Chains A and B, each alone.
Chain A
Amino acid sequence: MSEEKTISKDEVQLVVFSIGAEEYGLEVSQVQEIIRLLPITRVPRAAAYIEGVINLRGNVIPVVNLHYRLGLEQRKDTARTRIIVAEVQGMAVGLIVDQVLEVFYLSRSALEPPASAGSVNDVAFIKGIGKLSDRLILLLDLESLLYLNKAEAVS
């Protein structure tokens, strides 16, 4: 991600990754780093979508099980499984993904509001849908994914 290219207002730079059969994207500005799977400590009594916590160079950060949160089938860890460390509202959160695919620029005109596509239970966490010739990339809305938008309490 060392492009000197200035990002124009008409483009977003995305980190694209796969979870199950679907492709998701996060804006690069939200991504702090991508790391290999680390030992995760389970946190009892935490919300079910929280897989646990990891030690990221001395900082304890929570890790979210995206498969669970997105209502997909259970995850199988492989050599390609990664944790994307994202920054949301000033805190670091780890997201477990099956594979990080690429980083690219997407023209804003190729982005559509989420009303039309995706499985029904996804829609709440999707900010937009990026359309490439033969692919659909679902842009994740981390705030609502982590219940940070509303007063929805983590039970």
Chain B
Amino acid sequence: MDVSQYMDLFLAEAKEHLDSLNENLLALEKEPGDIKVLNEIFRSAHTLKGMAATMGFEGITELTHEMESALMLFKEGKVAVTPEVVDVLFRCLDTLEMMIENITEQGEQSYNYQPLIEDLRKLDRMRGEQAPGLPEAEVQQEEAQQEQPMEFNEFDISVMHAAAKSRYSSYYIKIGLAPGTVMKSVRAFMVFRALEEYGQIIKCQPPAQDLEEEKFDDSFEVVFLTQEPAEKILQSLEKIAEVSVLSLQSIDADRLGGDDSNRAETAEPEKTAMSGKPAGHVPVDHDSAGGAAFRTVRVDIGRLDNLMNLVGELVINKTRLEQIGLTHRLTDLLEAIEQMGRLTTDLQNLVMKVRMVPIKQVFNRFPRMVRDLARELNKEVQFIMEGQDTELDRTVIDEIGDPLVHLIRNALDHGIEQPEERIKAGKEKTALLRLAARHDGNNVIIMVEDDGRGIDIEKIRRKAVEKGLLTGKEGEYADEGEILKLIFQPGFSTAEVVTDLSGRGVGMDVVKSKIESLNGNISIETKKNVGTKVIISLPLTLAIIQALLVGVGGEQYAIPLSSIDETTFILPEQIKTVKNQEVMLLRGTVLPLLRLDRLLDIPAGNKSNGELFVVVVRKGERRVGLVVDLLVGQQEIVIKSLGELLTGIRGIAGATILGNGQVSLILDVNSLV
């Protein structure tokens, strides 16, 4: 059977299940008694197993199967949920992730998972030690249950009774598959998944195992408990391709007899009324299948990139039209373009929104990471995440992960103290680590905050002098802010012990340059014994920016508006020289000047002797004036990469195409001055 066409679907869903497993396992460790979470874990593991079996990945199937058995021990209360046990399960998840990764890359799952299976089985033996007896009985019961035809045994009936009491209705649903359907088991899974959104399946015929192995004809039956109306269930089932509902009937638990039926009927008339309403056959409306619309669509990210490119081209062409209109003074055209401009802006915003992804995608992996690290370092940490729904452009999302990993590791490794040390310092034994994201205008602010020991300013001061980053005198006089900035210098690390995690001296400088390459900013606030806060500010999107076009010699350059403070002009004779550095006075303060033509070796054009323009740019707290020949105007530009051959040129951030089709380079103020 060819299942390759389902591969992408499988991979995407498998990853989702792994994410949810990770998340829920963490929750379970915190709240070992939470049956809901445990059930959720079960469901994910089971679905994953089924999907893998269908696709023929035996390794994944086997490993998830063993995991399920281990989880069963939790459920039965035979093994306590201890960090050690959870560790084993986490390792299983890592292994599964690796296997799925391998499939993505090589189409194979090859991975040695045997040692893990051993570990899982060890858990099983732990059960033997802790609570001997009664292991087999339940397994048998489960099997016996599965062998039953679609008749209800006492157990089923009592479940339905109990369900009816808590206002759940029971339904019997017979599901048919179109003749010749491939991947029948996948359909069955989709049906199960759809149903599980609304309630619980308590029974199915043929048994789930046979459905997984495709040992069934064109139909199967389930008994389903839900609080939702039958129509809703029907609708969601009819959405699944090649699946039709042959029959959907309400089961009146009372009529099936059983222990407390009479009492239920007399004592709770309200309940009978309820179960009475949807009773009877619900007509299956096949037309509704086509009418029901999907709410979401999965789109390949490459297509979105293309869409973005096209919108970019549109913006460029609009600018071009504008220029034609201005040159020829065509008022009608300009009016039309204005209208078009509004439309392109709307379109651009829309595409931008479509490309936005919640930062959750990046944050998701951190709870697990923090847990593992904290265990490794013997620290107690409460990890709080806020603003996970904050949205960012995908390109930014892709890049922001590594810097955050680094910052969180730093906080855990250097910031947060050992529990004893915390108690001595009069703090809570459990440290607080907070990761928060929020929107702030056209920026997103991400914060990593801990209540650890803070950064030792004096230590950095000493280190800096030692390493010759500061002279002895500078070291003495530098204020806190200046000292903190040194952390971002290449090769600077204060860690006394080089641990596995951090403190190798490659760190904050890499984080900083990454953030800056994303047009963002990073800053640190710290207080001894109170904690450290790292604040990152990032633009919402990177693809289209506002820029100022300037002319120098015969060339034009674009300077991102985000790094411009103001523009002004100056006469050549007003330029003064201080210590070989040209400066000007701007409202009483001295502003160092840099001539763009000298900076970029621009061949001298027809030099006018008249006034020059000064673009005041910001680099951190420093302000510098860039001297240019003329200001062309402010424009929206689409950032294009210069390609591999031209990467890493200091001062150049990329290129853009102007309205006249010419390429203009975008200056990177940070590395330029």
Contacts and interface: CB of A to CB of B under 8 A. Distances in A.
Contacts of A52: 663
Nearest to A40: B663
A70 B77 CA distance: 78
B135 to A, nearest CB: 58
A39 B662 contact: yes
Contact of B644 (A41, A45, A91): A91
A46 B649 CA distance: 7
B600 interface: yes
Contact of B661 (A46, A55, A154): A55
Given A41-B662, A55-B662, A55-B663, A46 B646 contact: yes
Contacts of B316: 58
B637 to A, nearest CB: 12
Contacts of A46: 646, 649
A61 interface: yes
B645 A62 contact: yes
Contacts of B665: 41, 43-44, 53
A91 B643 contact: yes
Interface of A is mostly: strand
A146 B601 CA distance: 23
Contacts of A58: 309, 312-313, 316, 657
A54 interface: yes
Contacts of B313: 58
A45 B665 CA distance: 12
Contact of A60 (B600, B601, B602, B642): B642
Given A44-B600, A58-B657, A53 B644 contact: no
B652 A60 contact: no
Interface in A29-88: 39, 41-46, 50, 52-55, 58-62
A45 B649 contact: yes
Contacts of B657: 55, 58, 60
A82 to B, nearest CB: 19
B651 interface: yes
Nearest to A42: B555
Interface string B426-467: 000000000000000000000000000000000000000000
Nearest to A147: B645
A56 B144 CA distance: 70
Q: How large is the interface on B (under 10, 10 to 19, 20 to 34, 35 or more residues)?
A: 20 to 34
A93 interface: yes
A41 B663 contact: yes
B349 interface: no
Contacts of A53: 642, 646, 655, 663, 665
Given A54-B663, A58-B657, A44 B652 contact: yes
Contacts of B104: none
Given A44-B602, A44-B652, A146 B645 contact: yes
B645 A60 contact: no
Contacts of B651: 44-45
A69 B643 CA distance: 19
A60 B663 contact: yes
A54 B316 CA distance: 15
Among A44, A45, A55, A154, residue most surrounded by chain B Cβ atoms (within 10 Å): A44
Contacts of A154: 645
Contacts of B650: 45
A52 B316 CA distance: 21
Interface in A83-119: 89, 91-93
Contacts of B602: 44
Interface string B633-663: 0000000111111100111100101000111
Given A53-B642, A60-B657, A61-B643, 14 more contacts: A39-B662, A41-B555, A41-B655, A43-B642, A44-B649, A45-B601, A50-B646, A53-B665, A58-B309, A58-B312, A60-B642, A60-B643, A62-B645, A146-B645
- Identify the 5 closest CB pairs spanning chains A and B, nearest first: A44-B600, A41-B663, A60-B655, A60-B640, A62-B645
15 contacts: A39-B661, A41-B665, A44-B651, A44-B665, A46-B646, A46-B649, A50-B646, A53-B655, A55-B657, A55-B662, A60-B663, A62-B643, A62-B645, A62-B646, A154-B645
